[in-house]
């Protein structure tokens, strides 16, 4: 058990099965084809139907699992609403599939706009901006050349088309589901306007990827906004949740196990990044590219499969330091940003 955290449900539900984690609330899992091999989804019993939270990716396997879940643990009762916490594919992948079956979609405006834009924006090869981003981050010429001829990740490969029409969730909204009132609180940094739901009637929080135990949500900078500062947004959100956090709240996260001990976890989440920033500044005593900062940030070997997520997180931490005058950068002879700690910062 992690210090300060407790996992009341130490075993995850098997494929096609559900665990009741609170009255009228079921926890289920969908598989993901990556190192983080699952996403948690939830079903809230509204009596005459279900409200689901998140969906998994758009795959034949995920659709088959959902069909088995609806016929099995959900007892064939109609799915009426779907809440999507944020726009990432493992959470919104099957939203359009559910909508085509008459299910109402509830999410934040930003999440819907991002997802719909990305699912319509198919790129057969990387854009010039993406290749420039790799160059500025210090990815070597051979890897960039290889990537330039490959199909990049596209939302439309794993996210169903999103039809027009959704119901907006906004900061402070009150939502009724599973016999409870839930207050919407938005998080930032991992995904813009990430919805978390806080029960006003018992100690329950649906945290999505904003509130995870044991692992850190990816905080990344992308070619769409290469000078963004999402780490500041993440730290601000973490602090904003603290006044509402209680040790007895059961947090239902987007990945890993449900947990209690949120006040401790919020402190830990911030300290993890603050420690990484200290290591990074020390690492930048001599100039480094973003790709050369992996040892300081991750303290382990980063393989080709992990390069993309590691790179965007590295740039996020560097941008945070740059905004605060703690590092400077200049273009080197290879067209990459060379970052160095500022004197006296």
Domains identified in the chain and CATH numbers: 19-274 (3.60.15.10)
Which pLDDT belongs to residue 170?
Answer: 98
Q: What is the mean pLDDT of residues 146-166?
A: 96
Which pLDDT belongs to residue 302?
Answer: 84
Which pLDDT belongs to residue 110?
Answer: 98
CA dist 112 to 37, 86, 116, 120, 216, Å?
24, 8, 6, 12, 24
pLDDT tens column, 208-254: 999 999 999 999 999 999 999 999 999 999 999 999 999 999 999 99
Q: Which residues pair with 199 in a beta bridge?
A: 182
Provide φ and ψ at 133, rounded to 5°: -60, -45
Provide φ and ψ at 244, rounded to 5°: -100, -5
- CA torsion sign for 85, 250, 234, 41 is negative
pLDDT tens column, 72-94: 999 999 999 999 999 999 999 99
- Report the predicted TM-score, pTM, of the whole model to 2 decimal places: 0.96
Q: What is the mean pLDDT of residues 317-344?
A: 96
Q: Give the integer Cα–Cα distance in Å for 208 and 205.
A: 9
Cβ distance 167 to 101 under 8 Å?
A: no
In which residue are the tokens 């955290």 written? 5
């Amino acid at each position: 058990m992690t210090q300060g955290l407790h996992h009341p449900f130490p075993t995850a539900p098997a494929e096609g099965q559900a665990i009741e984690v609170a009255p009228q609330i079921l926890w289920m899992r969908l598989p993901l084809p990556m190192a983080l091999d699952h996403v948690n989804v939830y079903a809230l019993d509204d009596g005459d139907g279900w409200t689901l939270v998140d969906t998994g990716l758009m795959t034949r396997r995920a659709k088959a699992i959902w069909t088995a879940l609806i016929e099995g643990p959900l007892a064939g009762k109609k799915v009426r609403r779907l809440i999507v916490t944020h726009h990432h594919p493992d959470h919104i992948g099957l939203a359009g599939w559910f909508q085509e079956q008459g299910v109402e979609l509830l999410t934040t405006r930003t999440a819907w706009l991002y997802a719909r834009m990305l699912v319509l924006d198919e790129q057969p090869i990387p854009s010039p901006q993406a290749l420039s981003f790799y160059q500025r981050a210090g990815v070597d010429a051979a890897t960039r050349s290889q990537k330039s001829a490959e199909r990049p990740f596209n939302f439309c490969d794993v996210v169903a088309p999103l039809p027009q029409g959704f119901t907006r969730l906004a900061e402070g909204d009150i939502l009724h589901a599973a016999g409870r009132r839930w207050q919407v609180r938005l998080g930032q940094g991992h995904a813009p306007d990430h919805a978390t739901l806080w029960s006003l009637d018992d100690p329950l929080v649906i945290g999505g990827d904003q509130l995870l135990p044991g692992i850190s949500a990816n905080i990344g900078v992308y070619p769409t906004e290469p000078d963004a500062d999402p780490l500041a947004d993440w730290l601000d959100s973490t602090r904003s949740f603290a006044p509402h956090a209680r040790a007895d709240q059961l947090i239902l996260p987007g990945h890993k196990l449900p947990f209690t001990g949120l006040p401790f976890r919020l402190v830990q989440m911030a300290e993890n990044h603050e420690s990484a920033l200290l290591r990074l500044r020390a690492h930048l005593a001599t100039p480094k590219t973003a790709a050369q900062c992996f040892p300081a940030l991750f303290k382990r070997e980063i393989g080709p499969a992990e390069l993309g997520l590691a790179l965007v997180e590295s740039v996020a931490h560097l941008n945070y330091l740059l905004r605060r005058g703690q590092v400077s950068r200049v273009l080197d002879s290879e067209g990459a940003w060379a970052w160095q700690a500022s004197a006296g910062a």
